[in-house]
Structure 1
């Protein structure tokens, strides 16, 4: 999930500061000490050590340590809050000699604020991830539409159709329907987050029909799927950019593409193989974030998968054919 920007963190801390200042003012007002220099100093100390220091430290540590586990994140979050509250207790005791918080007092005071702010932190990151994923999906669809309407693509498609008009009119009509279905599907899924795997494969097959007609025996495709997972929901246009890359970067013919869909534990696993030159070593040793500026199809796919829950993508080369292998794992109930 995406991290908070500095601006977002600053706004959040300002909001918490307002809450803290309000609570502190009411507390000292009830004690008849509102407006005194000690009360103002205590308010500043509270803002800094009850919120600013714990939250900033926790976010920095989570990012620096690369923690992904929610339980470990929460424990680290609470640890930062406990330390901040402990320092606040010492500072407050320096202002008011009668105040003395023990470690157990600080422990129970920090629990609700630590858990509450962590839930807000995770909820905002999840919301932000959803918004970004939708924007990326729309971006991918727009790129797909632009590509589909690209003169070169249309020229190849129309040239293929023309070749079949006289020799095989029925084939030309079928390919025309396939092309229309692909373009119509791009527009119809503009506001759809997920579609069934069965639906995705149906549209993917129509796109492949055009490529098969264009390339003939130079393109061979093998699809292996467990029919029990056809109803699993996946993001639309997830696979076509990867297959297009395989065809585009092919160095030998026939181009051989293999798609395998299977369940792996509770996850849906999609494996795409080709017999091309494979991924460069530099790409295989790069972190996912470093690949976001690679080709449009691959980079967009990596970004979209990176924003999904319990999803990942792995790049490798087949040890025998040396071709590229892309392995995608998604939640089987993704949606």
Structure 2
């Protein structure tokens, strides 16, 4: 970049001489002087750049930097003009008609001109350096934020195993003495569920079709305990099956509906799950309904619901929506709605599998 910049500066000098110094012809001597000037300035700027790096000037504050640059640029301007004058006098040897251009009485003016040019170069150099540092700081800040988000997401995912295991073992414990055969069947389904959670540990998102398999396992597990008190239906559009969502999200919503809605009711109730792809923007829309009355505890959502909310916030930010409350259309029904952005809009749509 320096070579191109100084070469452009030399060519611009020749052009200005040609345009405004009508009495001066463009000869090889004049071209040689410009080439020598470009070479000297290139070496000078390279020397200044080396000085800035070795002396740590790029880390200095503005006050400490300016006076150092004033001295360095002054010395560099004087030295470069002395070297250039020597080259002109001893090597190029222009005719007398160009003597005024080569030095002599105008030497001080050339030094001041070079001093000004070196200040411009220095301003560009430090400006680009500070811009590069700013961009790198932005990259580092984004990397740090991503690492923090990833760590928080893994922490939330790690909560799922003990939370789910606790609920499952409690259910099995209640059946061991009463019905050992059903307890064994529940243990089989629980093992499948735990295998799924371990396989998906570290996976940001999974297809809806995969999540539905684990929901089916979970419903069979709950049906062994609740029997006819649990009635459920699944209505999933085929074009929604490949869409992605965080693992265990659907299972947690279904578990929440059964645990807080159906299980406490002596007669049980109905659970329905529907999933559609929104025609307008391609987003995934999920609705889980259950018989019951919505009774939230302000400021204290359950572990499952809180986990879903926090993971959605980490993965999608405001692009995802989650709400739970009374169904506005059906009496004595609780509705949990989930809306996830289309794959093209998902920040972490790439599935990082740990299988």
TM-score above 0.5: yes
> Deviations along 1:258-306, whole A, 9 cap, x unmatched?
21111122321222222221154x75xxxxxxx5x52211111111111
Task: Give the TM-score, by structure 2 length.
Answer: 0.54
Q: Answer yes or no: is the 8 Å Cα contact 1:141–1:237 preserved in 2.
A: no
Give the match for residue 143 of structure 2.
123
Q: Shift of residue 115 of structure 1?
A: 4.7
Which residue of 307, 317, 327 corresponds with 1:300? 307
Q: Which has the larger radius of gyration?
A: 2
Give the distance between the partners of 1:160 and 1:195, measured in 2 at CA.
37
Q: Shift of residue 311 of structure 1?
A: 2.9
Q: Shift of residue 143 of structure 1?
A: 2.1
Q: Structure 1 pair 275/243, CA: closer, same or farther in 2 (3 Å)? A: same
Q: Structure 1 pair 200/41, CA: closer, same or farther in 2 (3 Å)? A: closer
SS of the counterpart of 1:242?
helix
Give the match for residue 208 of structure 2.
197
* Number of aligned residue pairs: 237
> Deviations along 1:146-184, whole A, 9 cap, x unmatched?
3323xx22124546754xx5xxxxx88865643432233
Q: Shift of residue 222 of structure 1?
A: 2.0
Give the distance between the partners of 2:259 and 2:64, measured in 1 at CA.
61
SS of the counterpart of 1:236?
coil
Q: Answer yes or no: is the 8 Å Cα contact 1:270–1:329 preserved in 2.
A: yes
SS of the counterpart of 1:274?
strand
Give the distance between the partners of 1:29 and 1:106, measured in 2 at CA.
13
Q: Answer yes or no: is the 8 Å Cα contact 1:136–1:304 preserved in 2.
A: yes
Q: Shift of residue 110 of structure 1?
A: 7.3
Q: Answer yes or no: is the 8 Å Cα contact 1:275–1:322 preserved in 2.
A: yes
Q: Structure 1 pair 30/135, CA: closer, same or farther in 2 (3 Å)? A: same
Give the match for residue 76 of structure 1.
none
Give the distance between the partners of 2:200 and 2:244, measured in 1 at CA.
14
Q: Shift of residue 249 of structure 1?
A: 2.1
Q: Shift of residue 226 of structure 1?
A: 0.9
Gaps of 5+ in 1: 1-25, 47-98, 166-170, 284-290
Give the distance between the partners of 1:108 and 1:40, measured in 2 at CA.
15
Q: Structure 1 pair 29/106, CA: closer, same or farther in 2 (3 Å)? A: closer
Q: Structure 1 pair 115/192, CA: closer, same or farther in 2 (3 Å)? A: closer
Q: Answer yes or no: is the 8 Å Cα contact 1:198–1:230 preserved in 2.
A: yes
Task: Give the TM-score, by structure 1 length.
Answer: 0.56
Q: Answer yes or no: is the 8 Å Cα contact 1:157–1:210 preserved in 2.
A: no
> Deviations along 1:55-112, whole A, 9 cap, x unmatched?
xxxxxxxxxxxxxxxxxxxxxxxxxxxxxxxxxxxxxxxxxxxx89xxxx99988765
Gaps of 5+ in 2: 1-46, 67-118, 344-348
